[in-house]
Structure 1
Amino acid sequence: MNKVNLVNILIDSLGNRMPKACKLFAVLVTVEANCTVTEPKVASNVNVCNSDDPKVRLLCCKKPLEEAFETGKRVIVSECVNGDWTNEKKNCSAPVGNDFSIQDCGPYAIPAPTGSTLSYNLTAGTTNTHFAVVHKCTGQKIWISGKTMGGLAQCINGTWTPITDSCMEDCNPVVRDCSEIVQYSNVSGFFTVAPDGSTTSNCVLVWCDLADSKYPGGGGWTLLMKAVAGNTVFQNLSAESYREPINAPEDDNYFLGFNTLLKMNWNGSSIQRPLVLQIIMTRGGYLYEASYDNFVINPDFSLLSVGKAFGSAWNYLDDHVGYPFRKPENKSAWWAPTDPVLLERAYANWTWLTDPGLRWKFWSTEAITSVKIRFRPLSYDRVVSCPFGVDMSGKSAYYPLERVPGKRFTFSCWEPFHSMKGPGGVLYTSGTVDCLPGPAGGSYPTWNETLNLPCELNCPASFIKSSYQESCYNFTNSAQLKFGFVSGALTCAKMNASMAFIGNVVEFGSATWELLTILLIITEVEAISPTRSQRS
């Protein structure tokens, strides 16, 4: 049974006890109504602790004050999935070494999660030692995480485990994307949402990266796409195929579908709802990120805008702005030019993340092994993170993988003779900027200093800057060079420069063409360093 069917089963099975609007964004519950046998077949040292729910059982050890499951769990959940009970083969054991310890946590005294009430305690021994408690949602509410036992807490290693779930108290407003799930849960997982925010919208299953996500950047992210290098899932699909979901969110290669993305990207047919798009790539064992603060697609799925960029992976998506999403012959579908000559150049040198090679423009010396693309509304991002406001074009900074308060942005001009202008016009080559929380009263998070990026070329004394702002030139009268070319090369070496090749007179601006030219060439060098990124 696939996930789509499970969503349909959930909505149908809850029909008699949920208001109509709730059916639209009830979370995924992978539990069937009937199993082939009424009880799980458990090990000899395991008991079934409850029997009041036909679709789920709590399993506990027969000697709960002496034994536990792996990692010290006192109870585990067994659900009826695809006609069979899960976790039937789990065993209990006594602690060995420092694996875990069995200690008394005392009575459970933490208030019940929102919208729930304490259902029952699990105790053992003559002193009725508490080792697990279960809360259930009241009335017609359900756990927002989709877990049947979202209200389970147990005593592990002497401490009660927290309950991070809550019950939905109201069916309005409809949950539109993962940025609205955060008010109910901070545990990442599968959720169903109404993409256009309407109670008449069709539900869509999405994956939400919330506060506990292993990827940095905070919560509220809706997964758009993920892929691993070498996959051929997207290679031969038509552009039209991307209208609907490609695979399921739990698969290694997945795409949400443009129809759903478009509903989340627009309010109705005429008002844009800008999204913050975050592209996270694994390369050489490190994470690199490129985020954009005004991602908008047109109704025909062409790329309308990406906005400002931020991140350690640099800005390699804006080349595609204005182009349709199409599948050129013998290529995978992407935002691509229609002009044949430009198309070939774009495919060879630009970003193409649906390609099996997961190409990110000039990144060819070390392959990207995986990519994950996710988004959240700009209106939400602005409340929880520092703004973008950083020009990426200089490729001049070591970017943190998130912009939340407490994070530090470290910038460094690593190209020779590049610097930034500080207060009073002072040139400096490195520094730090901190993301600060907004002061009390509702202000948004902000950087503690304005960045004057990108780094710009500042030529040494006696050199002039080219009109293209990429090179520095020094002119020497040929009469001063006694041995011609050899003297010129030696003179250049003393200046830490190299002989110039005269390719375009325009580059010299007003400089005298007749003089022998000595050129310091500042080339763009891709500088990849582990200090610029975070391990995956």
Structure 2
Amino acid sequence: MINRQAFLFDKIGLKHVAALNWDGAVWRPLVIQILLGTEESGTFHATYSEQRVAPSSPWSLENLGAYHGNAGEALSGSIGKPFGQLWWNHIKASVSEKPIVWKPLEATGKRIVSFVVRVRPLDYDRAVSCPPIVTSEQEWSSVEIKADLDRGSGSRLTYYCPDSEAPEGTSESPTAPSGKIYCRRDAKGTLAWRPVLDHPCVFRCPENYTETDEGKSCVRFVDSETELGIFGAALVCEAEGASLAPIQSLKELTPITTDRLYYTAHVWSSGSLKPPLPPELSCQPLPDCKVNDDKDEKDIYDING
């Protein structure tokens, strides 16, 4: 059964919603919060920090501000459209027993069975709450969020990083998959999220691995012998959730021991190495690879033979 208790905009009318947004010709921003109850996964929420509806018919949606929540951002594509049409598309369909549409939740198979919509002035919201976290921005796009419904002092936002990244904020340990930020008052009494994050998740190499120059991958040189040659080396890497690595720069070769043979992802095929080596190295003729510097030539030994 669908809960229809909170048709706020139906009860007071779009004209009066617009009146809340304007003091004559002066815009009065509103914070709008939408609560979406699902059958099996509890309640999800979406908050927009600066809603603005045009002061006259057709009362187009002109602004939404920052999104905050765990329901997923679903309304920004409707800016410029009549607010009544927007309201029908997303929420009011339940009047006719059609499913309530909130695309991010719909995409994960969740069925919405109840909703509540509420608004309050932005000035009041700033006095009692931390600002919305703009979770629709790029740095949050791959981050799973678990945010308290309340943004008041003491509230918490937990974020979960992808496997290749680690949280920048506080976490249970340096390798923990999640981090937390908290709503705190500073010395002046202003509410803000702490700690301040440049990015919620940062690239971090596993233990015993070294970050490469471009900062997008990690390498480790393994000196142990393998009975199966390059296939055995590939299996050793696979056991660590890795793969044989290509040489991308001469600096990456610093840890190697020159009396050993190392297997890499480079393969001799059709008269050339694939992928190609960096320009500082040459492996022709095989099997010895040398640095292309006549003043300081150094054998590094071939990689796959």
Return the TM-score normalized by structure 2.
0.56
Amino acid at match of 2:35: I
The aligned counterpart of 1:334 is 86
C-alpha deviation, 1:354, in angstroms: 3.4
Residue pairs, 1:372-521, within 5 angstroms: 372-393=116-137, 394=140, 395-407=143-155, 409-421=156-168, 429-437=177-185, 443-455=189-201, 493-494=238-239, 496=241, 515=275
Q: Distance in 2 between matches of 1:436 and 1:363?
A: 30
Q: Which has the bigger relative contact order, CA under 8 A and spacing at least 6?
A: 2
Secondary structure of the 1:362 match is helix
CA distance in 1, matches of 2:83, 2:20: 21
SS at match of 1:260: helix
Q: Which amino acid aligns with 1:273?
A: R
Cα distance in 2 between the residues matched to 1:464 and 1:315: 35
What do residues 183-222 of structure 1 show as CA deviations (whole Å, max 9, x unaligned)?
Answer: xxxxxxxxxxxxxxxxxxxxxxxxxxxxxxxxxxxxxxxx
Cα 1:472–1:359 shift into 2, 3 Å: farther
SS state at 1:397 partner: strand
Aligned-partner Cα distance in 1 for 2:123–2:16? 19
Match of 2:82 among 321, 325, 341: 325
Distance 1:381 1:250, change over 3 A: closer
Distance in 1 (alpha carbons) for counterparts of 2:119 and 2:63:
14
Matches within 5 A, 1:31-50: none
- The equivalent residue for 2:69 is 311
In the alignment, the residues of structure 2 paired with residue 253 and residue 386 of structure 1 have an alpha-carbon distance, to the nearest angstrom, of 26
Specify every segment of 5 or more residues in structure 1 that has no aligned partner in the other structure, as ranges.
Answer: 1-226, 232-248, 328-332, 337-350, 475-481, 499-511, 517-536
Shift of 1:399: 0.4
Per-residue CA deviation, residues 441-496 of structure 1 (Å, 9 max, x unaligned), is 7x333334223444355577689899xx9x9799xxxxxxx999x99996884453
1:268 to 17, 24, 28: 24
Tell me what 2:99 maps to: 357
Asked whether the equivalents of residues 406 and 436 of structure 1 are also in contact (C-alpha less than 8 Å), the reply is yes
* Change in CA separation of 1:496 and 1:352 when aligned onto 2, cut-off 3 Å: farther
Which residue of the partner structure matches residue 289 of structure 2? none
Q: Output the CA distance in 2 between the equivalents of 1:253 and 1:418.
A: 42
How many residues are paired up?
Answer: 223
Aligned positions of 1:23-422 closer than 5 A: 228=2, 254=10, 256-269=12-25, 271-283=26-38, 284-299=40-55, 300-318=58-76, 320-325=77-82, 333-334=85-86, 352-355=90-93, 356-364=98-106, 365-393=109-137, 394=140, 395-407=143-155, 409-421=156-168
In 1, the alpha carbon distance for the partners of 2:27 and 2:9 equals: 28
Q: What is the alpha-carbon distance in structure 2 between the residues aligned to residue 272 and residue 253 of structure 1?
A: 19
| Structure 2 counterpart of 1:309, one-letter code | Y
Show the counterpart of 1:520.
Answer: none
- 1:112-141 deviations in Å (ceiling 9; x for gaps): xxxxxxxxxxxxxxxxxxxxxxxxxxxxxx
Give the Å deviation of 1:381.
Answer: 0.8
Distance 2:112 2:87 in 1: 20
State the distance in 2 between where 1:492 and 1:278 align: 48
Are the aligned partners of 1:435 and 1:447 in contact in 2 as well (CA < 8 Å)?
A: yes
Which residue of 2 is the match for residue 235 of structure 1? none
Question: For the residues of structure 1 that align with 2:81 and 2:125, how far apart are their CA atoms?
Answer: 27
Partner of 2:300: none
Distance 1:411 1:298 in 2: 35
Superposition TM-score, scaled by structure 1 size: 0.34
State the identity %: 24
Is 1:390–1:451's contact at 8 Å kept on the other side of the alignment?
A: no
Cα 1:334–1:262 change in 2 (3 A) is same
Aligned residue for 2:301?
none
Distance in 2, matches of 1:387 and 1:313, equals: 17
The one-letter code of the counterpart of 2:79 is G
Structure 1 residue 433: deviation in Å?
2.9
Deviation at 1:373, TM superposition (A): 1.2
> Does the 8 Å CA contact 1:438/1:445 hold for their aligned counterparts?
yes
Task: Give distance in 1, aligned partners of 2:165 and 2:86.
Answer: 35
Gaps of 5+ in 2: 220-227, 244-265, 267-272, 277-305
Residues 322 and 515 of structure 1: CA distance in aligned 2, closer, same or farther (over 3 Å) = same
Question: Aligned-pair RMSD on alpha carbons?
Answer: 4.5
Report the 3-state secondary structure (helix = DSSP H, G, I; strand = E; otherwise coil) of the residue aligned with 1:375.
strand
